[in-house]
Amino acid sequence: MATPPPPPRPGGPPRASAPGSGGGNGREIHTLDEFDAAFARPGGLAGHRIQSVDLTGRTFALLATSTAATVFLGCPMEPEAAAKVRADGALVFPPVPDLPFDPYRSRLYTADELYEGVTGPGGYPGTPDALSYAWFGATRTDGDVFSSMLRSLHDDAVGDALDEHLAGLRVVGVMGGHAMGRGTEAYAGAARLGRALARGGYTVATGGGPGAMEAANLGAYTAPFDDPALDEALALLAKTPSFTPSVTEWARAAFAVRALLPGGGDSIGIPTWFYGHEPPNAFAGHIAKYFANALREDGLLARSSAGVVFLPGAAGTVQEIFDDATPNYYGSLGAPTPMVLVDRDHWTTRYPAWPLLQALAAGRPMAARIALVDSVDEAPAALDGLGAA
């Protein structure tokens, strides 16, 4: 069975990329090179959306061309240039000072960016990730519409960047509990799963946090290396099994593995500052971090267009199973996508989600797209057998 087309972006249709553009419908500009290319074309900058680009060195270009119907999102520029583009009729969203994040960002995060400074004397509390979580904690209940607007702008920008990054990729989501410790067989199994999926041509996407999520991202990271590389990484990480009591030491252990194995494979992490006490893992090559957990959860499942593997977990993973089952049941996002549940005893006895999933699927197209396997090593073949490839 052919892979179904990627589902619509939550909150709106997908935004197709155009060659040579900053993505979107061909009008988005994310870099100075894209700005210069647009300036040189007939029509110039009119009607473009210029996103988080420092234009203080492009005053001549801004003064020399029309910017009618152009939108500037967080673009620093000289006062005379700002006055001129406003006179043209451009809409200008100015940079917001003293924020630990950019609400207009045009790209996904990297672990290096979120953890900047973690290896220094200040450790994790001084990193952009920790500072953004602190800002969120201070503003999430203050009732300030400006703060909530900034969070919404940021999350929409991240969703846009994620769509552009995933366009055309076969994405498999891996869901599982955050409490799965480094050094356990369950963690090693989740890492083998991530490696097998990456080697099979899939882009692994997780919730971006610790536990099973980190393990799957680690597996994808080690996919380009010989098999012993994963064993070596697991042994090093086992010395710091959890992010408690020290996120600093937990993160430093991950960066030590990355230094030992530079240039690993790519995967996606989609964490949230809503659960900011659970830090993002450093093995996802690209990180879409949201403030709103609902957007994060729905976006992760909807973008897993080649299927989802559910590792053993508790309430959060049970919720994700049925969040994924609902559009498969109704067909609201097109043809149902594969769902593979791992660990028969866990999903039939401890948390009997499998019988309910079977009951929902009975007599519907999704019945042919669900599977229950005993071990994590069976999951990739089960996924392929359900028509994910």
Q: What is the pLDDT of residue 299?
A: 86
Closest CA to 365 of 344, 335, 343: 335
Phi, psi of 54 (to 5 degrees): -75, 110
pLDDT at 377: 95
The answer to whether residues 182 and 240 touch, using CB atoms and an 8 Å cutoff, is yes
How many angstroms separate the Cα of 133 from the Cα of each of 217, 245, 269? 22, 18, 17
**Residue 5 above 90 pLDDT?**
no
Is the pLDDT score of 172 beyond 60? yes
Domain segments of the chain as ranges: 1-95, 162-385
pLDDT of residue 8: 38
pLDDT above 90 covers what percent of the chain?
89
**Tens digits of residue pLDDT in 262-296:** 999 999 999 999 999 999 999 999 999 999 999 99
Q: Collapsing DSSP states into helix, strand and coil, what is residue 133?
A: helix
Q: Is the pLDDT of residue 154 over 70?
A: yes
As a dihedral over the C-alpha atoms of residue 221, residue 225, residue 228, residue 233, rounded to 10 degrees, the angle is: -30
Cβ neighbours of residue 28 under 8 Å, at least 6 residues apart? 21, 22, 48, 49, 50, 51, 106
pLDDT tens readout for residues 6-57? 333 333 333 333 323 344 456 899 999 999 999 999 999 999 999 999 999 9
Confidence at 316, pLDDT banded by 50, 70, 90: confident
**How confident is the model over 357-384, as a mean pLDDT?**
96
* The pLDDT value given to residue 205: 98
pLDDT surpassing 50 at residue 386:
yes
Percent with pLDDT over 70 in the chain:
93
Amino acid occupying residue 14: P
Dihedrals φ, ψ of 21, to 5°? -115, 175
- As a whole number of angstroms, the distance between CA 319 and CA 146 comes to 31
Task: For residue range 47-66, list pLDDT tens digits in order.
Answer: 999 999 999 999 999 999 99
DSSP 349: I
How high is the pLDDT of residue 140? 92
Q: What is the Cα–Cα distance from 317 to 340, expressed in whole angstroms? A: 13
DSSP annotation of 52? S
The phi, psi pair for 228, rounded to 5°, reads -60, -20
**CA dist., res. 363 & res. 120, Å (int):** 58
pLDDT of residue 355: 98
Tell me: cis bond preceding 245? Omega within 30 of 0 counts. Answer: yes
Torsion of CA 57, 62, 64, 68, to 10 degrees: 170
Predicted model pTM: 0.90
Q: Which one is the CATH code of 162-385: 3.40.50.800, 3.40.50.450, 3.40.50.2000, 1.10.8.10?
A: 3.40.50.450
